[in-house]
Structure 1
């Protein structure tokens, strides 16, 4: 579905401005921790001499957001005791998530010597889980509050400004602190910064139907959060232990070429959907799968789009591959090329932030005014160019201005493509299931990218950094080939599935 509207933007009213400021804050809340378990962690591991293949495996931590649809219905249907009784369901989950983010990042700070990699992986996974849960609650709320393409454009831009500003603050701030102190203090500093939105949210006005006092709701919410955080940590440790035993039994080590296995795994969802789609397409309104609280939101996507669902999912899974691969190995490449932590900190801060903000602003503007097909094509082109510029960086002499120019081009293209892509995904969603369906689509969108990112270390060993970034740029551009077919995709009516309880 790519149909869009042309015309002038309306003047932003006060309510829309407040909504944009809110999503600027929420984007900031999610962007800080994301960079700390992703790019900053790979840089930290690289500085500690961890093998490049193992660093690539750590990129699989970012696979967790891909499967957020598994717990998104819980966020849609259940409330957090204490917090939700005063601040509402969405803010309740956001506040619980921020506590989880703070705890996980502090734990990563005290394992910052990287001598116990399984423990580092555990805390990185917990950080990814709570960051993703925050995003699930915030995305569902955004789609409810702004259901149209025109309304989504400015709010998505504000959200991504906050998100990318936080990523820059995390990347630049962590590198600069680590250069002057060590990685423990870098993670503690960012943990404190990530916690700042919590008191802001706690000071906000209550929901209209609030049933508790502010102080009582806060104390009860904090009390309930402790056992939730402990239980989630124990469950994650158990799953991680079982996974490590499974990998060991299969003989997978840092020397294994995992790329073929990754590609096979990526094909499995498409094969399963192809088998199930004929039955889903024929379902009536009272079909149990369509009315199921757990499965209904996802079955609805396939019911509305039919066999075109495979085309849509193929496109969204390809569109951001290049940027995810570039993010995974860009920092280790800068380190291998001889750039200092101070130079990397400047690149991640003073250079990346304005370039990203401009890219997001232009992406949000064209997503609101152009047909989405053209906007998506422009985004893919600039994303590819941002990846290819790193080929030049790798082959050129290590001079500061080369690093800064390359990062500026990469962040501009990444920001532009990201803003357009979020609007496109939001327009695919049935407003009756905003959190669950957006979680599924945005998670599936990064399945291929993050599976390949985990194999990026072994890919780099086979083709070198220049070959790796040539490939990542080509994958970004390849999505354009599907746009003419995607333009013909039109969903049928909305589902009659279960509504979210008030």
Structure 2
């Protein structure tokens, strides 16, 4: 792992240096393009093929992959990709591998766009989510290493999210417009090509590693290693998926099952496990296997530093983005059900969503350099809730594209503002000794409970309707605010070793 105390090279892009801003805008763009393709766009594709709403809700669990990134994030801190890592550096090497994974998974989703087998659709959606998440882990670790302070994080996070949200808008609106005219296969192929464009740019960048063996030898070695890794990942994913589907069938879980009670029980398990382990963690010595382990050490360190405050932090981060996550998968099927076409939804998700989202991100990043985090987090929760309430308002209006633009702008502005503030806040909680693993853990846990519940969203809509569902999602966003006064008292424990 990179030593955080090491001097930063003179040619490293600094936060307000255009090179640094451009770099992280590019990395955000590369990570944002695939996201809608395994979430919102996929739900509309499944709806078009007559898949039941409850089953579409289950596909939200594909988005659990980003919440589980702490499982493999330590590997990105410890190992380099052969060829890529030696010539371009550890972080950039993982980014290049992830881009190859994204491209191959997207091509596979295009070739199976008829959804004749939902199991195959789920397999490639999971692979796309996995490689997208891997790209984010590598980029986030690099960002935290290069820009460790709140003042530095604000502009870099804004640039990163501008790129990310620009890509999400391009993928969401572009894919829907292409699908309306040329079909789902063409839509996924177009986005696959666009998602791969940053790869040759990364190859052309000058070396960041040792550079031994030359650029083309490093590229060839990296491509061979990537082929092996991509194949292994596909086989493991298929085996795990088969086991999960077999277990669900054995338990009698199907499209008509009400899974909400089971999900709520699962949501309590992480808190109970963390609470039970806390006394042992807090008393662990610096040389304890718990704290020195490559796999567990970064996560144990977080609980060792924050103690009981870690449980409060976990509760807060689980609630803060829950409303947005709940709304993500079912907002577009609701809008389509109101009578809007894919092209109208695509237009709303293009320029309108982009401008509103970038305005929210920019304002959040700018205020992060000036306001206390407690006030910023509270404001972010309020504007995010307002965006969710906008869907309830839209459902009771006539079908009018201008009104769809208003609802979309409110949702995207709130999402962008709250997202920028949240990223800065989580980055400041991380120990610079474990940037990749701890940031992966925090962001993963932040979306674990919301995405578990989102998978039951279809059955929830069946029980309380779209109005009740989006009212609930907005109220949940506000539920994080009462925790802020307590959160302001949480401080990290000083390190007890060199």
TM range (shorter): over 0.9
The corresponding residue for 1:93 is: 94
> 1:121 and 1:256 mapped to 2: Cα distance?
19
Q: Given the alignment of the two structures, is residue 32 of structure 1 paired with residue 28 of structure 2, yes or no?
A: no
Q: Given the alignment of the two structures, is residue 202 of structure 1 paired with residue 169 of structure 2, yes or no?
A: no
Superimposed CA distance per residue, residues 412-436 of structure 1 (whole angstroms, 9 cap, x where no aligned partner): 0000000000000000000000000
Superimposed CA distance per residue, residues 255-276 of structure 1 (whole angstroms, 9 cap, x where no aligned partner): 1111111111111010011111
Q: What is the CA-CA distance between 1:496 and the residue it aligns to?
A: 4.4
Q: What is the CA-CA distance between 1:17 and the residue it aligns to?
A: 2.3
Contact kept, 8 Å, 2:90 with 2:209, in 1: the verdict is: no
> 1:222 and 1:252 mapped to 2: Cα distance?
41
Number of aligned positions between the proteins = 486
Superimposed CA distance per residue, residues 226-258 of structure 1 (whole angstroms, 9 cap, x where no aligned partner): 121111111100100000000011111111111
Flag the 1:495–1:222 CA change in 2: closer, same or farther, 3 A.
Answer: farther
> 2:282 and 2:17 mapped to 1: Cα distance?
38
Q: What is the CA-CA distance between 1:284 and the residue it aligns to?
A: 1.4
Q: What is the CA-CA distance between 1:208 and the residue it aligns to?
A: 5.4
> 2:16 and 2:413 mapped to 1: Cα distance?
29
The corresponding residue for 2:447 is: 446
The corresponding residue for 1:149 is: 150
The corresponding residue for 1:4 is: none
Superimposed CA distance per residue, residues 187-208 of structure 1 (whole angstroms, 9 cap, x where no aligned partner): 0000000000000100001015
Q: What is the CA-CA distance between 1:494 and the residue it aligns to?
A: 3.2
The corresponding residue for 1:328 is: 329
Contact kept, 8 Å, 1:304 with 1:495, in 2: the verdict is: no
Q: Given the alignment of the two structures, is residue 428 of structure 1 paired with residue 425 of structure 2, yes or no?
A: no
Q: Given the alignment of the two structures, is residue 161 of structure 1 paired with residue 173 of structure 2, yes or no?
A: no
> 1:202 and 1:18 mapped to 2: Cα distance?
17
The corresponding residue for 1:494 is: 495
Structure 1: gaps spanning 5 or more residues: 1-11, 498-502
Q: Given the alignment of the two structures, is residue 228 of structure 1 paired with residue 229 of structure 2, yes or no?
A: yes
Contact kept, 8 Å, 2:15 with 2:147, in 1: the verdict is: no
> 2:14 and 2:330 mapped to 1: Cα distance?
42
**What TM-score, normalized by structure 1, do the two folds share?**
0.95
> 1:457 and 1:413 mapped to 2: Cα distance?
24
Structure 2: gaps spanning 5 or more residues: 1-12
User: What does 1:393-408 align with in structure 2 at a 5 Å threshold?
Assistant: 393-408=394-409
Q: Given the alignment of the two structures, is residue 48 of structure 1 paired with residue 49 of structure 2, yes or no?
A: yes
SS for the counterpart of 1:446 is helix
Contact kept, 8 Å, 1:429 with 1:438, in 2: the verdict is: yes
The corresponding residue for 1:3 is: none
Contact kept, 8 Å, 1:430 with 1:494, in 2: the verdict is: no
Q: What is the CA-CA distance between 1:211 and the residue it aligns to?
A: 2.2
Q: What is the CA-CA distance between 1:16 and the residue it aligns to?
A: 3.1
Q: Given the alignment of the two structures, is residue 391 of structure 1 paired with residue 392 of structure 2, yes or no?
A: yes
SS for the counterpart of 1:254 is coil
Contact kept, 8 Å, 1:20 with 1:159, in 2: the verdict is: yes
The corresponding residue for 1:319 is: 320
The corresponding residue for 2:274 is: 273
> 2:22 and 2:318 mapped to 1: Cα distance?
30
Q: What is the CA-CA distance between 1:223 and the residue it aligns to?
A: 1.3
Q: What is the CA-CA distance between 1:85 and the residue it aligns to?
A: 1.0
> 2:261 and 2:321 mapped to 1: Cα distance?
20
Root mean square deviation, CA, Å: 1.2
Q: What is the CA-CA distance between 1:13 and the residue it aligns to?
A: 6.3
Moved over 6 A (4+): 12-15
Q: What is the CA-CA distance between 1:14 and the residue it aligns to?
A: 8.1
SS for the counterpart of 1:368 is coil
